[in-house]
Amino acid sequence: MPVPRAQLKVFVPLASFPEQEQDRLRAEVESGRGLSRSRAHELEERRLRTALKDGRVPTSPWSVQVRRVAGQLMVCPLDLEARAGVAWSLLADAVPSTLLEAVLPEPGARQRLERAATAIPQVLDHPFHAPLHWFLAFAPSEQRFTDPPEGRGPRLAHLTTVGQAGARIERVLEVVEEVLLDAEEVVLALAELGVWLDAFDPLSLLELDHGSAGRARGAQSLQRDSTCAQLWRAVEALEEGDDHAAAVAYATARATWSRERALSTAS
């Protein structure tokens, strides 16, 4: 059974790619193989499972999810090969090497995934919930809840530009480094997110899609979600020197996803 997950996706203007890649991506879209969100999810589940099962690089690396904004084509290659490599790298950091060999006995398969992990994917995945620092790339006003009648389930998403997201992460990083002690993990997480965002055109779109992880919480819970707003209250309170208000706001945001965080840790 697939693990519920949240995703952070970058949709880049087609014109920002090198010319050869533009041609390949345009051909993918014009041939009708540009993917909707639901179709992309189905393809990801099938091919990522295959990659982590036997180390085989997924086929169709140019499969892309598309958005059209003000007549401009924005594309998000699924980067399945790179994401399988990243998933393998995270597993390798968390478990002994002997267990890795038991999971994937063939050395060549492990090496393929290790090589794939060096690329920068346009999609980040996280099991069971979105990490709290992801929310800080967005303003509370950029949060959207929908519950379409087609039966696909409720959806919570956030949408901004990469440029705005990068500026916000930089602001939060400065506050945390200046005010908080013993916050190395938070600083590292924010810094890594900032570096990832810097790899893309500032005019690109950044989307936090809670996806199957969000649907597991149910429509009412998602509709009431104030995690983004609470985290920004915490940041603003730190800027004003109100440590108590910051702690309360952060604890509120953290508690919202406590069940999902526990599942992620247990997994």
Handedness of CA 204, 133, 39, 43 (dihedral sign): positive
Q: pLDDT digits over 31-42, tens only? A: 766 666 666 666
Q: What is the pLDDT of residue 107?
A: 72
Q: What is the pLDDT of residue 32?
A: 66
Q: pLDDT digits over 251-267, tens only? A: 999 998 877 666 555 55
pLDDT-derived band at 104 (thresholds 50, 70, 90) equals low
Rounded to an integer, what distance in angstroms lies between the CA atom of residue 146 and that of residue 128? 19
Q: Which phi and psi angles does 63 have, rounded to 5°? A: -60, 130
Q: By three-state DSSP, how is residue 86 classified?
A: helix
pLDDT-derived band at 87 (thresholds 50, 70, 90) equals confident
Beta-bridge mates of residue 72: 69
Q: Are 113 and 85 in contact (CB under 8 A)?
A: yes
Q: Which residue ranges make up each domain of the chain?
A: 1-123, 128-267
Rounded to an integer, what distance in angstroms lies between the CA atom of residue 16 and that of residue 81? 21
- Quote the radius of gyration of the chain (alpha carbons, Å): 19
Q: pLDDT digits over 220-249, tens only? A: 888 999 999 999 999 999 999 999 999 999
The CA-based dihedral angle spanning residues 190, 192, 197, 200, taken in that order and rounded to the nearest 10 degrees: 170
**CA–CA distance from 260 to each of 129, 210, 225, 252, 264 (Å)?**
6, 12, 14, 15, 6
**How would you classify residue 180: left for phi > 0, otherwise alpha for psi between -120 and 50, otherwise beta?**
beta
Q: What is the pLDDT of residue 264?
A: 55
Q: What is the pLDDT of residue 1?
A: 44
Q: What is the pLDDT of residue 199?
A: 94
pLDDT-derived band at 112 (thresholds 50, 70, 90) equals confident
Q: What is the pLDDT of residue 127?
A: 85
Q: pLDDT digits over 7-40, tens only? A: 999 999 988 888 888 888 888 777 766 666 666 6
| Beta carbons within 10 angstroms of residue 126's beta carbon | 17
Query: Considering the chain, what is the average pLDDT of its residues?
Result: 82
Please tell me the pTM assigned to this model: 0.83
